[in-house]
Each structure stands twice: as C-alpha cells, then as structure tokens.
Amino acid sequence: MERLFLGWDRLALPLALEALSARYSSGGALHLEGCLLVFPGRRGARRFLDLLAEPGVGCESLPKTMTMGELPEELYKPKFPFANSLTQELAWAEALRSLTSERMKVLSASVPIDEDQSGWLSLGRLLSVQHRELAADRLTFEDVISEAERLGGPSERLRWEILADVQRQYLAILDSLNLWDKQTARIEALKRREFVADRDIVLVGMVDLNRSQREMLDQVQERVTSLVFAPESSAHLFDEHGCLLADKWADQPIDLSRVTIKLVDGPREQADEVLESLVGLEGRYAANEIVVGLGDTALEPVLERAMSQAGLRTRSAVEQTVRQTLPSRLLETVAAFLQNPRMPEFLSLLRHPDLYQWLSEMELPANWLDAVDREVQETLPARPEQMRSALGGGERLRPLFDAIYTALDPLRQPPRVLSEWRGPIVELLLTIYSHVEFHTEVTVDRLTWEGCRALLNALEDQQRVPAVLCPAVTGAEALRMTIDMAGSGTIPPPYDPGAIELLGWLELSLDDAPVLLMTSFNEGRVPSSVNADPFLPNRLRKALQIEDNSRRYARDAYTLCALTHSREHLTLLLSRRTAEGDPLVPSRLLFATDDVTVARRVREFYDPEAAQDDSRGTAKRRRSHLGSDVDIAKTDATLPKGFRIARPQGGESLRGSISVTAFRDYLKSPYLYYLKHVRHVKSIDLSAQELSAGAFGTLAHDVLKRFSLGPYRESRKGSEIANAVNEELDSLIEERMWGTTLPAVDVQLAQLRARLMAFAERQAELTDEGWRIEFVEKSHDAKPFVFETGDGRSLELRGTIDRIDYHPETGRWRILDYKTSEKKRTPEQSHRTKDGIWKDLQLPLYRELARPLGVSGKVELAYFNLPKDLAEVGVEVADWDDLLLKEAVDVARGVMRKILDGEFWDLKQMPPDDELYDLEALLQCGTLDRDDTVYAGLGAFDEDEEESAW
C-alpha cells in the first residue's frame, strides 16, 4: 500500500485532485474510470465530483466513489443474500427469547413480557449495534469474555458468556434461513482471503480504519493508495495504512497562533458571534466560501434562525430525517391514537397538517376544528367514541369522526404477522396523499414526497423478512416498526450556492471552504467520548483495541491541525453553558500546548470578571444587517437581538364591536389584546384531563342561569334551591358529558356541587332580604348598544350581564357577576390596582349596558363569589361613587380610541409570565436568555435601544 503525504497547508480536496491529475492524466485530459475513490463520508465524495466538473479540470471519465462502509462488498462476492436490518434485529430478539428468565435478568434489569414485541425488538436492536461494532474489529462476543472478567470480575464474565450464547443462536437462526449477517460474512471473506480489486483504490483522507478494513485493504494492497493530508515530516504520526497512531497524537502540540478563539456565554451568544465574524469578513468571501461548523448539533436551529433574521440563507448537510417528515409524523400520531384511543391523542391527530387538510376538503362546518375544541373543552369526554355516539347521525361534525374511523379501522384489527400490515398502511397513506398534487420545487412538498417514498421502501423491506421471524403485532406496533426502519434515513437539501453551509465536525476535514467558523468547541463535543456505553465502556474498549477515547482524541487533534493550516480564516467559539444553563468546559484540544498558554486559556475561561465583561459586551453590541446577497456585505441597518415576534400590520384594528371583558386585556397589554381579539390567537390544551377554569365557570353559570329562570327563583328555602340547582347540574352533566367523565372531572363536579349548595343558602337569604331576580343573562344582541368614544366615533359594546336583582322596598338595583375562581375577590381587587388605577372595566360598563333596561338610580355593582372556601360564598358589593364610575367610563373611551387607531405595539407594557394567557410559546418566553433578549417588551432593554430593537 502506498502512502502519499500531500501536506495540509492547502484545502484537502484540491490537493487530492492535483495528486490524481499527476497520476492519471494523459493527452491533456484526466482519466479516472479505472479508479475507485473511497471517502470518509458521502459529502466529501459529492464535493470532489463537483470539483471534477469545474471548467478547466478536463476530466473526461469520472471515477467510482463510495464510502469505506460500502467498499467491502465491492471487493468480494457474498455466497448468500444479506439479512436486512429488520431481519437482523428480529433474529437477535428471537435469540434473546430463547434465554431463561434468570439468564435474561443478567442482561437486562427490565425483561419484556412475551407480548411486548417493541420491547424485545429494542433489545435486539441494542445487541445488533454491539455486534456490528465488535465485528468491525474482527471480534465476537466470546472474544470479549476474558477481558471483561479481568476488568469487571465474575459478573461481567457471566454477562458476556450469555451474550456469546445469544450471538451463536442469532447466527444459527440466520444460517437456517440461508441468510448472511453482513459483518460475519466480511469476517469469513477475510479468513478465506476472498478480497480482490480490479481497479485502483484511492483512500481520500481515511485516517481512522478498523481492523477488518485494514486487513481487507492488505489483501489488495498492491492496488491501494492512501492520500494523507499532512506533511511528510509528520509521517511518524501515521501507520502504514495512513491512519493515525493514537499514542503519538496524545502529546502532539497544536499550534493555534493563526486561529481566533472566542469565549461566549451561551448558545445565543454563539449565534451573535457568528454574525459578528461574518460582518468582519467585509464582503471578501462568497457564501459558498464560508462554512459554520457544529460541535453540537443542538445549536443548529439557533444558528439557522439568527442567520435567517440577518437575511442569510443556510444549508444543513441534512435537511430532515425521514422520521421528521409529515408522513412519518402522521403514522406516529396514528400509532399513538391506536395504542391509546383517548381524546388528547385524537385531538393531536386532528392537528396533523396533512390529515387536517384531508378533513377540510369534506363537507364540514367552516371552523370545524374550533367546534370540536369547544365541545371537548366543555364536556371533556374520555374517548372520542363517546363524543361520536353522542353527536348522532344528524350532527354536522359526525362525518369527521366517521371519516377518521373509516380510514383507521383497517389498522384497528387484532394482531397479525408484520408483513400483513403492509396493505392497511399503504391504504392509509393513499387515503391521505393520493389526491395531493406535489410540486417538488416546493420544500414541504419535496420532503413529504421523499418521506412517503422512504416509508413505502421500508414496507417493501418488511416483505423480505422471513415468515418464521415475522412477529404478530398490532397495527400501532407495525406503524412504529415501519417508522423505525425508514426514520434514520436522511433527506439532503437542494444545492444552494448562495447559502452558508452548516456542517458537523467530522465533515469539515474534506470541506473546501476557506473560511470556517467552528461553534461549540467544548469538551464532550470536540472531542466526544464513549464512557457511558452500557456494554463497552472506554476501559474495555481500550483493552480490546477498538475505537476508544484515545482514538477519538487523535482523530480530532489531527482534524484541528489540518484545519488550522489549511483555512484562511478559522474561528473557534467556546460556550460557557448550554441552553439549559448547564456548565461547559473548553475542549482539551485547546490545552495541547505549552504550560504558559494553558494557564492563560484556563484563566480566561474561568475568570468571573472576564465572563461578566464578555456578557456585558455582547449585550451592548450592535450587529450590522448582513443582507441576502451571495457576497456578505455590511450595511447601516441594525439587526434585533433575540427572536422576532409578529408585529401588528398597518391598518389592523377592531372595527365594529368590543366586549366589556376585552378592556381588561388592553389595559394589561395592547399587544396581547391584539393577539387575542384582533388575530384571535388562543391556546388549546390537548392533554387536559380536567375542566379548565373557563369550562368550570361556564358550567356553573349555566346551572345558575337555569335556576334563575326556573320556578324556585323566589324561594326562601335553601333546601328547595339546593334541590333545584342539583337537578340542573345533573341535567347539564347528562346533556354535555353523556354520563361519562374523567376521574378528575368527577372531583371537580363534586366541588361545584358543594359550592352550589352554599349558593342555595345564600340565595335564600337574599330573597328573604327582599331581593328578587329581575333580569338573567341580559345582552344587546337584538338592539346593539352603541358606545361613543368622545371624538365623534363609536363602537358597539358587547356584554352579557349574569344577573340583575331589584329591591322593591328601597328601589335599589344590583348588577351581579358570578365568580367561580378558587379564591374570593372583591370588585375593587379585580378592577383597580393598589394605586387606584383602573385595570378592568367590566362592572362599570355593565352599568352602562343596563341603562336601556331601566336600571338607573341606586345601582350597586357586585360579585356573587362561589370560591373554594364555602364560608366565603356570597355577594361582595363595590364601594365606588359616581365620580369613580365616570372615570372608569372615560378610561374605556380612551381605550376604544386607541383600538380604533390600531395602537397595539407598546413595548413597555407587558404582563408578568403568569398572566400571558398561555401564549408564552408564541411570545417565545424562556427561549435562550430571557434577561438579555427583547420579547416584545418582555425582559430588560435600554431606553435608547427601543427603536433599533424593533
């Protein structure tokens, strides 16, 4: 085998092209048809082919390219077909089932029951991974026994003896089916020296090979050349295969004098620094000449969003995994519902975008999803079958339930052999997607199409599983097994020359961009470790001479050396903490230097004062807008820190009517008023197992309304009133909940019943005092109530007054609003701050709405509280004089004028977190660093930053 050291002062792939051109050019043209080029990953192979296609290269015939994982089957002929991944996992599961329960408990503290197919398959998948890794170094489970005993004692010896028995049983199962395990087949081919090469094999940057790969290459060594991207003077750091000598790299110094190292606080600050670095390039590089490296893939969405806000396009190596596509998510949501056919799972199913679109094409009410949500929130059925039965055939929502159950019924059948579920799953996909017209140039369509194709391929693979291994599974299990088979597949994004690529650490060595901004350069990310492996911890790995932490360190140390020499600009970003606030430490690669430099870097990282200064500097820094052109250039525009929140559009306002309860929302926050009442944004709890506060209050109000219109409204006997409200509550439960409730709802209903009993006693006392119920739930639906704003404009004022009582002897009126909150509140507490500022205008505006009913003169405004403490059930009257009530009306007119003018964007006025109407997700509260990010006024920001921040 020949090693060619090409140096590392230039980019790797251009160096590889020069080396191949020198060897395979003739007649002024490059001929590579006789070459097989092997790369560490597919991306390196794709980029090299791109280089060959560039003008001036003169490549007349392309080479065959592949990864090292694909190479073995190119060099030998298997005697039997290979078992696919699912067949292997099922064979492992079957081998495990052959163990006694006592021996199984040695391997796993939790042994699945016989019917738990997913549990057995998960264990089989775990052993399959261990088998593949050991086989790559020509090891069997039996080969591990002695070293395991030496390091872990008799218990570890017993464990690996059992694993060896399972492995033998696994291979026997495949042999009986005339199938081969790919890893074992390779080992057999090595033993028999069956590897043959009919063309030149060129290894491009393959610096870490396992034992099987090395022995395979040795059998065809006369045709192998290894291109090593390092200077000849470093040859002593590499073995005869061009691979790293881990022990030599352990003490190898790394010169970072040409590298920019930046230390920041957290993920968002890393994104800030990336943008700062791009600005600092001053437009000298095109987007496709810049790469952002990801030490931690969790940072990817943060970077993508920050760069998108700056007008920059990004391209990740993986756009989506198949598991993330809409078709896979549909099957997962269906599986969850089939396994637990409860209301939360059903509501999640309705919200799947593709299922929602399919249902929306049926003859359903215009806002059918809102109608379902309202019905569920008011009645909380435990299962959708209850709601489906109660709706009856004439209800307009009934077709929705019928359509879903018709589509899912084939998957709700008893367990059957896995391969027999292909038809029902394909039928479901066709039902949802067959009428969709896909436009593959549209991202979501392309991803959906690729997702469907991957799932169908997985279903075809299932048909190749031998019948003897096919387990009897439920429809839900079949769906999840299909997703597992297809889900790890990836869908690359389309090529975009105007995008900055985001690449993982292992892909960077063969990338040909001259500018690299490396993020999350922290220990555990670069280099990573394998200490936590349940079967093969690092000590055992080292003893077995398979991939361990020292080999990972050597690989990453080499990569960093190569990057520092070959890149024109290299920036390493270190983070002090994760998004969750957990502390991080610097990569140990930064300490592969002299003692003085190590001490300086440690001090800089851990010095609290330096950290504080850095944080303040980041918070105050201005970022220039980067623009969307291919060439990165600075402009005078400014970019907001943090994430943008939807700003009200010009011309939006509420023209028509306003509810008396909506004033409270505007006084609390104009922007939240805009979200709730202009854009009608709301939050739905799909997992609710009890009545919401609103649904609880609505039920109580409806009981009291029926009582107040009934024959006992003037009763002076608490027992009569108690019987009346009891009957009304029972009637409403039967009507709305169909006689079936969740356990928590039963408790709530008991609590409500107790509050109604206390109400009955207090109501009897009010009647005895001379009060009579005059009006019940009065509104102005027939004749709108027009409220003047004081500047020639007006709005209709809407509101439904729970109850108005009259006292004939005194001529007093009393406007009552029922309150069912946990604690008693007075009107003063709810309507005015401690400083006497109006924060709610409901009762004063009820007084205005009641005037057309003849309610005038002595008018009391009151709450009828029904709190948890039954001793506090009763009426609380507001102590407001006419001057205060006039002030409240003036405040209402001012609010109406602002609403008509569309004034909703007030950054200074936002409520605390616990009063956000469940809209925290939309406002992105808690995202990254709340204290240093502007969330439409949430959190701290300087006075002089308000304009630039938005």
List Cα–Cα distances, 19 to 4, 370, 522, in angstroms.
9, 66, 35
pLDDT of amino acid 141? 97
pLDDT of amino acid 741? 67
- Pairwise CA distance, residues 153 & 150, whole Å: 6
pLDDT of amino acid 641? 39
Percent above pLDDT 70 for the chain: 88
pLDDT of amino acid 927? 46
- Pairwise CA distance, residues 286 & 500, whole Å: 9
pLDDT of amino acid 645? 57
Question: pLDDT higher for 737 or 733?
Answer: 733
Which DSSP letter does residue 586 get?
B
Is residue 379 classed as helix, strand or coil in its secondary structure? Answer: helix
pLDDT of amino acid 639? 35
pLDDT of amino acid 532? 67
Length of the chain measured in residues = 950
H-helix or E-strand spanning residue 2: strand 2-5
Stretch 790-811: mean pLDDT: 93
Stretch 791-808: mean pLDDT: 93
Q: Which single residue is written with the structure tokens 């104009």?
A: 670
Give which of 427, 422, 420, 389 is closest to 406, Cα–Cα. 427
pLDDT of amino acid 343? 87
Answer yes or no: are the C-beta atoms of 801 and 815 closer than 8 Å.
Answer: yes
pLDDT of amino acid 930? 35
pLDDT 10s digits, 113-172: 988 888 999 999 999 999 999 999 999 999 999 999 999 999 999 999 999 999 999 999
Question: pLDDT higher for 934 or 597?
Answer: 597
List Cα–Cα distances, 74 to 192, 207, 223, 225, 353, in angstroms.
16, 21, 14, 17, 43
- Residues in CB range of 100: below 8 A, 6 or more apart: none
The 200-204 sheet, strands edge to edge: 2-5, 224-228, 200-204, 35-39, 64-67
Answer yes or no: are the C-beta atoms of 328 and 483 closer than 8 Å.
Answer: yes
Question: pLDDT higher for 353 or 608?
Answer: 353
- Pairwise CA distance, residues 837 & 945, whole Å: 28
Stretch 455-482: mean pLDDT: 94
- Pairwise CA distance, residues 464 & 118, whole Å: 19
DSSP per position, 89-139: HHHHHHHHHTS-HHHHHHH-SSPPPTT-HHHHHHHHHHHHHHHHHHHHTT-
H-helix or E-strand spanning residue 12: helix 12-24
H-helix or E-strand spanning residue 682: none
- Pairwise CA distance, residues 518 & 508, whole Å: 10
Give which of 729, 722, 723 is closest to 705, Cα–Cα. 729
Give which of 10, 97, 17 is closest to 54, Cα–Cα. 17
Which segment of 128-132, 391-395, 715-719, 872-876 scores lowest on mean pLDDT?
391-395
Cα Rg, the chain, nearest whole Å:
36
- Pairwise CA distance, residues 275 & 621, whole Å: 12
- Pairwise CA distance, residues 181 & 189, whole Å: 12
Q: Which single residue is written with the structure tokens 């002076």?
A: 716
Is residue 860 classed as helix, strand or coil in its secondary structure? Answer: strand
- Pairwise CA distance, residues 663 & 669, whole Å: 10
- Bridge partners, 36 (sequence order): 64, 201
pLDDT 10s digits, 663-689: 999 998 888 888 888 887 777 666 677
Give which of 22, 597, 505 is closest to 300, Cα–Cα. 505
pLDDT of amino acid 186? 95
Stretch 385-406: mean pLDDT: 80
pLDDT 10s digits, 408-427: 999 999 999 999 999 999 99
- Residues in CB range of 648: below 8 A, 6 or more apart: 671, 674, 678, 902, 904, 905
- Pairwise CA distance, residues 527 & 589, whole Å: 8
Please state whether the peptide bond connecting residue 711 to the residue before it is cis, i.e. omega within 30 degrees of 0. no
- Pairwise CA distance, residues 754 & 766, whole Å: 19
Which DSSP letter does residue 811 get?
T
pLDDT of amino acid 393? 53
- Residues in CB range of 307: below 8 A, 6 or more apart: 271, 274, 275, 313, 314, 500, 626
Stretch 535-562: mean pLDDT: 93
The 657-659 sheet, strands edge to edge: 657-659, 794-798, 785-788
pTM for the model: 0.77
List Cα–Cα distances, 146 to 187, 255, 598, 860, in angstroms.
21, 42, 40, 89
- Pairwise CA distance, residues 799 & 790, whole Å: 20
- Pairwise CA distance, residues 484 & 472, whole Å: 17
Name the pLDDT band for 322 (thresholds 50, 70, 90): very high
pLDDT of amino acid 890? 96
pLDDT 10s digits, 357-382: 999 999 888 889 988 888 887 777 77
pLDDT 10s digits, 914-943: 444 455 555 555 444 333 323 333 322 222
Tokens of 9: 């002062």
Name the pLDDT band for 318 (thresholds 50, 70, 90): confident
pLDDT of amino acid 649? 66
Name the pLDDT band for 816 (thresholds 50, 70, 90): very high
pLDDT at 727 over 70: yes
**Buried b / exposed e along 477-507 (16+ C-beta atoms within 10 A):** bbbbbbbbbbbebbbebeeeeebbbbbbbbb
List Cα–Cα distances, 464 to 411, 453, 458, 469, in angstroms.
21, 17, 10, 11
pLDDT 10s digits, 37-82: 999 999 999 999 999 999 989 999 999 999 999 999 999 999 899 9
DSSP per position, 395-455: -TTHHHHHHHHHHHGGGSSPPEEGGGGHHHHHHHHHHHHTT----TTSHHHHHHHHHHHHH
Average of per-residue pLDDT values in the chain:
87
Q: Is the dihedral of CA 623, 624, 626, 627 positive or negative?
A: positive
pLDDT of amino acid 642? 41
Angle between helices 343-350 and 326-339 (to 10 degrees): 160
Q: Which single residue is written with the structure tokens 């394998």?
A: 530
pLDDT of amino acid 116? 87
